[in-house]
Homo-oligomer: A and B are copies of this chain.
Amino acid sequence: MPTTTREIQLAQRPHGEPTDDDFRLAEVELTDPGPDEILVRNLVMSVDPYMRGRMNDVKSYVPPFQLGAPLEGGAVGEVVASNVEGVEPGAHVLHQLGWREHAIVGQSAFQPVDTNLAPPSAYLGVLGMPGLTAYVGLLDIAQLREGDIVFVSGAAGAVGSTVGQIAKQRGHRVIGSAGSGEKVAFLRDELGFDAAFNYRDGRVADLLAEAAPDGIDVYFDNVGGEHLEAAIGALSQNGRAALCGAISVYNATEPEPGPRNMTLMVGKRLTLRGFIVSDHWDRMGAFAQEVGGWLRDGRIHYRETVVEGLDQAPRAFIGLLRGENTGKMVVKV
């Protein structure tokens, strides 16, 4: 058993786009797990766009990260020592203390995962929080209905690629946007999207109008900004948008312009609704059954962008905000 371990701390709060200097790799003492705790050796950890918000010192739905403390995020690891009954060393668990090599986790703060069904990293993506986000946002928040045409932005990301595939499995026409030609090809050729465009190729409103000449009924927003305005313009009567995130503005240091077409919401009877996946854990069972089944049957696919080494986690996170990933971005610890 080592007596020290390594972790990534928040060295200073980023201003705009995060830089290497905002993070610090630290060597810290490794203690034994206390009563009702386990010691986990992390295998793979998640970097997610929403973490950018927690790096600011503002009140939000989750408290901000603390300076000098390790960052947090989803991780899957192997139990090294256990003081929890029924949990044996060698078991794999999902928990929220990523960004470190070892974590001491209380008994209510982890759950076992079945690595025979899917590799550990899948529980950080398609079978985990991003997958549930896609499921809840599309079905519960946007209230997907038969015949709806679905548009999802950030469609090559962990959430967006699952949104599009759930909609396809349910028989919908699906349009996606992404930030490179390679990603667009991935959406069309591997994931079966009906149409996809690279939002850097022109005005989003024009590109969307071309990809969805009959308009859209549901918009799943991962991007915000110009995408949201374009979607409000394209939504048909009684259209609905699930607002999941706004990666286009996470690094903004000034307020970004808002949609200039909000008045369309009245005449078109549109609904925009923001949501946070953590309000919807009760849907995990239905999600795991439906999406897990499709995954087992090979009906849906996922990609990962894997970065090697805990010390590379800040670069992975910075790259994520730049859109350098296709599918789920994970770090092998």
Contacts and interface: CB of A to CB of B under 8 A. Distances in A.
Contact of A260 (B243, B258, B266, B272): B258
Interface stretch (A117-125, A244-252, A319-327): A244-252
Interface stretch (A1-9, A186-194, A274-282, A291-299): A274-282
Nearest to A221: B266
A265 interface: yes
B256 A260 contact: yes
A263 B246 contact: yes
B261 A266 contact: no
B272 A261 contact: no
- Count this chain's copies in the assembly: 2
A267 B228 contact: no
A263 B249 contact: yes
Contacts of A266: 243-246, 274-276
Given A269-B279, A271-B273, A261 B258 contact: yes
A275 B269 contact: yes
Interface string A69-82: 00000000000000
B262 A258 contact: yes
Nearest to A279: B269
6 contacts: A243-B262, A258-B261, A267-B276, A269-B273, A270-B273, A271-B271
Given A224-B262, A257-B257, 20 more contacts: A229-B258, A243-B265, A243-B266, A244-B266, A246-B262, A246-B266, A255-B261, A257-B258, A258-B259, A258-B260, A258-B262, A259-B262, A266-B274, A269-B279, A270-B273, A271-B271, A271-B272, A271-B273, A272-B272, A272-B273
